Amino acid sequence: MRLAHIRELSAPAGAPWRVAAALGPGAADMERPAAWLDLEVARRRAIAARPALAHDAALFRQPITTLDDHMGRGLRVAVLAELVEAFAPRDEDDDAVLATEDLSFGSPVLRPPSIRDGYGFERHVRTVWERRGGEVPPIWYELPVFYFSNVAEVRGPGDPVWAPRGSTELDFELEVAALIDTPAMDLSADDGEAVIGGYMIFNDWSARDLQREETQLRLGPAKGKDFASAFGPWLVTPDELEDRRSGRAFDLEMTAHVNGAEISRGRWSDAVHGFAGLAARASADVHLRPGDLLGSGTVGTGCLLEVRDATLGRYLLPGDVVELSVERLGVLRNPVVTRPS
All structural domains of the chain: 2-105 (no CATH), 115-335 (3.90.850.10)
pLDDT value at 25 more than 60:
no
pLDDT in tens, 231-257: 999 999 999 999 999 988 999 999 999
pLDDT in tens, 305-339: 999 999 999 999 999 999 999 999 999 999 999 99
Mean pLDDT over the full length of the chain: 95
Tell me how far apart the alpha carbons of residues 112 and 230 are, in angstroms, rounded to a whole number: 12
Q: Is the pTM of this model over 0.85?
A: yes
pLDDT value at 91 more than 90:
no
C-alpha distances (whole Å) from 119 to each of 276, 292, 300 are: 13, 17, 11
pLDDT value at 24 more than 60:
yes
Out of 29-38, 203-212, 216-225, the most confident range is 203-212
Residue range 112-133: average pLDDT?
93
Residue range 123-142: average pLDDT?
91
Contact 60, 54 (CB under 8 A): yes
Which residue, among 231, 9, 12, has the nearest Cα to 98 in the 3D structure?
9
Residue range 186-203: average pLDDT?
97
User: Does 109 or 24 have the greater pLDDT score?
Assistant: 109
Tell me how far apart the alpha carbons of residues 267 and 144 are, in angstroms, rounded to a whole number: 18
pLDDT in tens, 201-218: 999 999 999 999 998 888
Residue range 156-167: average pLDDT?
97
pLDDT for the residue numbered 90: 87
DSSP state of 266: E
Residue range 132-158: average pLDDT?
94
Residue range 5-20: average pLDDT?
95
Strands 293-295 and 115-118: parallel
Tell me how far apart the alpha carbons of residues 207 and 147 are, in angstroms, rounded to a whole number: 16
Q: How many CB atoms lie within 10 A of CB 205?
A: 27
pLDDT for the residue numbered 26: 53
pLDDT for the residue numbered 74: 97
Tell me how far apart the alpha carbons of residues 210 and 86 are, in angstroms, rounded to a whole number: 51
Percent of the chain with pLDDT over 70: 98
pLDDT for the residue numbered 337: 98
pLDDT for the residue numbered 196: 98
219 band by pLDDT with thresholds 50, 70 and 90: confident
pLDDT value at 59 more than 90:
yes
pLDDT for the residue numbered 115: 98
The single-letter code of the amino acid at 332 is L
pLDDT in tens, 269-309: 999 999 999 999 999 999 999 999 999 999 999 999 999 99
Contact 256, 183 (CB under 8 A): no
